[in-house]
Structure 1
Amino acid sequence: MKITVDIDCTPAEARAFMGLPDFEPMQKRAMEELEKRMMDAVDRYSPEALLKMWLQPATLDTGWFQDILRQGRK
């Protein structure tokens, strides 16, 4: 014997029926905090700021590039 039962409900209704906790308010607060942090950090990660951050160490010590070229000749 085979019995098939189809239940048409939303995920929220299924969680409530099974007695599982509703994490939606906590998830909403976490996403709002994440969005706030991302918006605060947007200026630090602009293309100009990243280029400046990446090129700064290279301009401080150009000897490393000369060392690489010397090693390639050997």
Structure 2
Amino acid sequence: MKIHLDIDCTPEEARAFFGLPDVAPMQAAVMQEMQDRVMSAMKSTDPETLLKTWVPAGAASLDQLQKMFWQSFGQGGSETKK
């Protein structure tokens, strides 16, 4: 004997039928908090702020950092493999 039942209901109706809690308000609050954190993190990712955190000593260190990058690029192709 085989019995086949089709139940046509929404997910909210199914949760209510089985006695599961409605988590939509909590989910909305968590998503809003995540959005707020992401937006505040994006504000601190402008290039000037990033350079200030990476190179705290200022313009002199920035010049040294730039020279170091150019030296690294210049030496990259000159080494021979053994």
TM-score range, shorter chain: 0.5 to 0.7
User: 1:53 corresponds to which residue?
Assistant: 50
Equivalences for residues 21-32 of structure 1 within 5 A: 21-32=21-32
Question: Per-residue deviation at 1:13?
Answer: 0.5
> In structure 2, which of residues 44, 65, 71 is the aligned counterpart of residue 66 of structure 1?
71
The residue type equivalent to 2:70 in the other structure is: F
Q: Percent identity?
A: 40
The one of the two structures with greater contact order (alpha-carbon pairs below 8 A, sep at least 6) is: 1
Which blocks of at least 5 consecutive residues in structure 1 are unaligned?
none
Change (3 A) 1:71 1:31: closer
TM-score using structure 2 length: 0.60
The Cα RMSD (Å) is 2.8
Q: Which runs of 4+ in 1 moved over 6 A?
A: none
Output the CA distance in 1 between the equivalents of 2:37 and 2:4. 48
Q: CA deviation at 1:52?
A: 7.0
Mapped to 1, the partners of 2:63 and 2:10 lie a distance apart of 58
Q: CA deviation at 1:14?
A: 0.3
How many residues matched?
70
Report the TM-score, using the length of structure 1 for normalisation.
0.64
